[in-house]
Structure 1
Amino acid sequence: MADNRPLPPGYSVPVHRSLTVPILLAGAPRLATIVNGTLAAALGIGLQLWGVGLVFWIVAQGICVFAARRDPQFADVLIRHIRTRGYYAC
Structure 2
Amino acid sequence: MSTATDLPGFEVPLHRSLTEPILLGGAPRTVAIANGTLAAAVGLGLQLWIPGLVLWIAGHSLAVWGARVDPQFMQVFARHIKHKPLLDA
For Structure 1 versus Structure 2, the TM-score category normalised by the shorter chain is 0.7 to 0.9
State the shift of 1:11 in Å: 2.7
The structural deviation recorded for 1:70 is: 1.5
Helix, strand or coil at the partner of 2:35: helix
Tell me the TM-score normalised to structure 2 length: 0.86
What is the count of residue pairs matched by the alignment? 85
**How far apart are 1:30 and its partner, in Å?**
1.0
Q: Distance in 1 between matches of 2:58 and 2:40?
A: 14
SS of 1:87's equivalent? coil
CA drift of 1:27 comes to 0.8
What amino acid is the match of 1:60?
Answer: G
- Distance across 2 between alignment mates of 1:87 and 1:56: 34
Aligned-residue offset at 1:34: 1.1
Unaligned ranges ≥5, structure 1: 1-5
Residue type of the alignment partner of 1:55: V
Amino acid at match of 1:19: L
1:22 is matched with which residue?
21
Cα deviation, 1:46-82, whole Å, max 9, x if unaligned, reads 2211011001101110110011011111111111111
2: CA distance, partners of 1:34 / 1:79: 17
CA distance in 2 between partners of 1:34 and 1:45 (Å): 16
**CA RMSD between the two structures:** 1.3
The 5 Å alignment of 1:31-50 reads 31-50=30-49
Q: Please, which runs of 5 or more residues in structure 2 have no aligned partner?
A: none
State the TM-score, normalizing by the size of structure 1: 0.85
For 1:30 and 1:52, the matched residues in 2 are separated by 22
